[in-house]
Each structure stands twice: as structure tokens, then as C-alpha cells.
Amino acid sequence: MLSIADLTDAELFHLVRMARGYAATAAAGSAYEKVLAGRVIGTYFRKTSTRTRTAFSSAALRLGAEVIAYGPGDLQENTGETVEDTGRVLSRMLDGLVARTAGPDREFAAYAAQDRMAVINAMSEGEHPTQALADLTTVLRVRGEVDGAKVLYVGEGNNSAVALALALTRFKGTELYVITPPGYGLPAETQQRAKSYAEASGSTFVCAHDLARAPKSTDFVYTTRWQTTGTSKADPDWRTVFDPFRVDAALMARYPDARFLHDLPAHRGEEVTAEVLDGRVSAAFDQAENKMHSAAAVLAWCLAGAS
């Protein structure tokens, strides 16, 4: 599970439905079926994480697996062992590895260059695929279907936005507007791929740098923190460029029926006002919980072939 682009449409739709199933199980007060009993999952986070690390650890335990957690200073990669060798060795002892590198995407191909252990990208420099699964699970739970969903994404075209663009555009008749500050848009390759997905699914995909280009209606307004984990901006005046892209009550008032999404962590007063994040239309904390249900779907699908 390295990139959303690696999934077929059927696999993507299936994972989102599975995540909704786990959410329904939890909402009914029931336990996840222990389909990973006897399995061992490693979690290796080189960068900070509250949600993703806990989502995968909690989901693995709830599915009956054991978890071994590695922090940024724990593995011999720090003393020069290659990523390839690390993957080869861990694959002899683990059934699955959930890793956050915040480094180049090619590192994940290196971890995955073995045929014994499932490898799950819990965020690389270029993409945050499991965030998109949580996002679409939230859309599914709020709307009852993902097909036809309209999302206005405002802020940096970061790894969460990349995954969202590669995922939402695969569903029929969706609409995704990605409005970013100039110079902070989605990579050209992502735009090209999302555009071709949108053409195939009869969806709309628009990238722009001015909120005047925002659509007249939307189901969700989505933003993300301005300083993505593990990154920094070269321009010392970047905040001036980002300031007009804050999600506040005035922007939400343009969309009276829309729900608010945020992948979290949030900086109230920067990318979103406290009034919006903590307000009635915010689904951000449900979205955070959905990371656990979608993590369960990913683990069960990757390791147990669960359907």
C-alpha cells in the first residue's frame, strides 16, 4: 500500500467500504473481528505522528495482531544500514510494516523489494495515501456515498492533497477544486493523473490559485496545516502568501450546507479559525477517528486478504 495510484478502482472502492464497515462495527459497540491473530506488525515512524501511528497501532491490536514500535532513532538505518537491507531483514520477522518516512517515495519501493512482508506508507514526502482513505471514509459516512461528492480543498498542495486528488477523482461524478497559494500547488504529475482519472469517471478536477475560482456550491471544505510535518518553506514571507487562504466563517458562509474537513493537526488562527474547526459543521474529529477504521481496512486487506 505505497500509493493510491497503485490501487485499482475496485480495490480503492472496496477499502473505503471496508473502513465504513469497521466504523459501523465500532459504532455498534462491537469489536473488530480478530483476523490478524498471530500476526506481528511493525510501526516505524521517523517523524512525529499522533493520529496515523495511533490509528494503525490501535487497529492492529483490535484486529488481534501484536505491534512492535520503532521510533526515529531505533533502527540501524541511523548508522548507515540501507533501506533495502532494513526491509529484507524486517520481512523475515514481521508480517507488515507501517512506516512514516517523510522522505522520498522511492524509499517505500526499497522497503517493499521483498515478497514476505506487507508495506504500508503512513506518509512519505510525496503522498499520504492512508489519509485519503480516511477522508473518503468520512465522505462516505457523511453523505452515504462518495460518488457525486463535491470537495473544495484550500491550502497547500501537500501529500494529503496529492492522495485526495488521486482518490476522489476515481469516483463517479465527483468534483474536486484544489485552490492553493501560487507556488504551492499539486505536482504536475499528480495533476495530470488526477485529470485523466476525472475524465474516465465523469468527474471535475480543477486546480487554481485564487479563491475567486472556488465553485458556487460544495459538500465539503477541506484544509490542512500550512507547515506539513517534516517540511519547511524556503520563502521567509510564505505566511503573507498563505494568509488569504485561511478557512474562516466568511468562507464557510458561502457554502451553508457544507461540512468542514481537516486532516489535523490544526493550528487555530492559521489555516482555519477556531470558530470553524470547533463549530457545528466540522467533521475533523470524526475524520481523525476514521483513520483508525481505514487503517483496520488496510491492515486486514493487506495481511488477511479480508473482504
Summarize as ranges the residues that interact with ligand CP (CB under 6 A): 49-53, 123, 131, 229, 263-265
Q: Give the nearest distance from C-beta 127 to ligand CP in angstroms.
A: 12
Sign of the dihedral defined by the CA atoms of residues 83, 88, 93, 99, in that order: positive
Distances (CA, A) of 15 to 12, 147, 220, 221, 296: 5, 15, 21, 23, 10
- Show Cβ contacts of residue 15 under 8 Å, excluding neighbours closer than 6 positions: 7, 133, 294, 297, 298, 301
90 or 133, CB closer to ligand CP?
133
**Whole-angstrom Cα distance, residue 121 to residue 265?**
19
**Whole-angstrom Cα distance, residue 81 to residue 93?**
17
Q: Give the nearest distance from C-beta 47 to ligand CP in angstroms.
A: 8
Cα angle for residues 297, 119, 287 (degrees, 5° grid)? 40
96 or 129, CB closer to ligand CP?
129
Determine the angle formed by the axes of helices 159-168 and 188-201, rounding to 10 degrees: 20
Q: Give the nearest distance from C-beta 34 to ligand CP in angstroms.
A: 25
Cα angle for residues 258, 156, 47 (degrees, 5° grid)? 110
12 or 163, CB closer to ligand CP?
163
Q: Give the nearest distance from C-beta 137 to ligand CP in angstroms.
A: 13
Q: Give the nearest distance from C-beta 274 to ligand CP in angstroms.
A: 19
Q: Give the nearest distance from C-beta 88 to ligand CP in angstroms.
A: 27
Q: Give the nearest distance from C-beta 263 to ligand CP in angstroms.
A: 4
61 or 264, CB closer to ligand CP?
264
175 or 271, CB closer to ligand CP?
271
Task: Return the SS3 of 119.
Answer: strand
Give one DSSP letter per residue of 151-170, joined into a string: EEEES---HHHHHHHHHHTT
175 or 289, CB closer to ligand CP?
289
132 or 252, CB closer to ligand CP?
132
Residues paired with 150 in a beta bridge: 175
